[in-house]
Structure 1
């Protein structure tokens, strides 16, 4: 088994799950959004769990759709390899006709010789956009043009006051985008320059896009600049900052000012 194998597997699983979700969308239509969301989550979770059990039987898995007892399984915390997956990131957008800002996340966390773990592979499929970003061939984010106003991705329904204040300090514009994976992918493809979120998430919301962001050379951290850590007993993550590396110092300084 090579590192490259894991990159490719993450890509292939995320892309295949995405194709299945597109087919479900086409088959079921949008008449019952609640049912479509439930069916999409369940079908994608089932596919990913069965595929990983077959292809990586010795590895552990942490999935958004796992039961509470599965999430709390202590074997995950002592495992050397843990796949962290979000079978359908952005269920609301998935169930809305015409929206493409939803994703499938597949990431691999591995424990190193020193006992510390890190994300080593990951993929974010954006099925309705026809692309999959992955660590084997990470995108190269374009640099911020001199004099241009940076753009920060935010929730399309309720931009938080904290990020609105940060945007004013940084001279940035806010761009509403759906799922977390779509927001982080937008940083990596040049649609925005940053994503800041302080309202709480879980590991599966960001593991795969953070893996791709780090492989791309983007900045990825907590909003205080500290390292994002995964495969924790409590899978919640309070906050996250993803940005072009040249913009990170400005945003971190602005966040510190807001917290004074």
Structure 2
């Protein structure tokens, strides 16, 4: 599929529409339901899911859509797809419930296991980041659109992302081995976007995530000159395994940073 300007603008418009659906719920009282894995889901997750799935099916009728809120039978079929849209309608549901504004809409295009393009939309601020490894990366907000680039070479103190809701001992040990650091607390895929525009240098994650949590943000990071690798140093791939769970990862702005030393590898 040709990722031309028209298509990319169509995806950004769908992300904006999903953001509006989320804010409609955010501004009023809402219930929280626990899924089988005990993760929370709200009416905003479901409203954004339907908005995005319907929008992408109209925009690209021949390309299937896999969302965090897809039915189990759709998730089971996805291994037969060599291209797909991979969607997290509301990344950071815990942050949404806390009403701290740090949640996003994530939409990624995957082809042959590789993320080609991604959009990360922050509903509360209206800011969107989009891009891909072969395209570049941009930030779009009320002031217009500008290209973004990672901070490389990085200089001390290194700025490292600290998750709002998913801190682990492994991550804390990793950060301690980095030396002089400045911690930046953020929720959802906003951490990747701030890394892409040079606001942080490293985001280590050792706890579980799902493929829809990282795909769109990986596209933005790679478009900005950074990288997202697993703990063996391999770029993340998608829809290639039986499980949709990711292993640990390191997101870097400056690829020269000695992350293997910090990981004890």
Same-fold call, TM cutoff 0.5: yes
Q: Answer yes or no: is the 8 Å Cα contact 1:108–1:121 preserved in 2.
A: yes
TM-score by length of 2: 0.84
User: Within 1, Cα distance between the matches of 2:211 and 2:176?
Assistant: 29
Secondary structure of 1:72's partner? Answer: helix
Match of 1:86 in 2: 88
Secondary structure of 2:61's partner? Answer: coil
User: Within 1, Cα distance between the matches of 2:216 and 2:153?
Assistant: 27
Please, what is the CA RMSD of the aligned residues?
Answer: 2.2
Q: Answer yes or no: is the 8 Å Cα contact 1:10–1:121 preserved in 2.
A: no
Q: Answer yes or no: is the 8 Å Cα contact 2:227–2:235 preserved in 1.
A: no
User: Within 2, Cα distance between the matches of 1:145 and 1:82?
Assistant: 35
Secondary structure of 2:254's partner? Answer: coil
User: Within 1, Cα distance between the matches of 2:150 and 2:226?
Assistant: 10
Secondary structure of 1:196's partner? Answer: strand
Match of 1:148 in 2: 156
Residues 252/15 of structure 1: CA separation in 2 closer, same or farther (3 Å cut): farther
Match of 1:242 in 2: 251
User: Within 2, Cα distance between the matches of 1:185 and 1:228?
Assistant: 17
| Aligned with residue 188 of structure 1, among 163, 177, 196 | 196
* CA offset digits 1:6-40 (Å, max 9, x no partner): 432332221221122112222x24xx452695100
* CA offset digits 1:27-65 (Å, max 9, x no partner): x24xx4526951001101111111122221211111101
- Which structure has greater strand proportion? 2
Q: Answer yes or no: is the 8 Å Cα contact 2:150–2:224 preserved in 1.
A: no
User: Within 1, Cα distance between the matches of 2:234 and 2:119?
Assistant: 23
Q: Once superposed, which parts of structure 1, at least 4 consecutive aligned residues long, lie more than 3 Å away?
A: 144-147
Match of 2:26 in 1: 25
Match of 1:12 in 2: 13
Q: Answer yes or no: is the 8 Å Cα contact 1:164–1:174 preserved in 2.
A: no
| Aligned with residue 131 of structure 1, among 127, 133, 139 | 127
Q: Which runs of 5+ in 1 are unaligned?
A: 112-116
- The Cα shift of 1:244 comes to 0.9
- Which structure has greater helix proportion? 1
| Aligned with residue 209 of structure 2, among 201, 209, 228 | 201
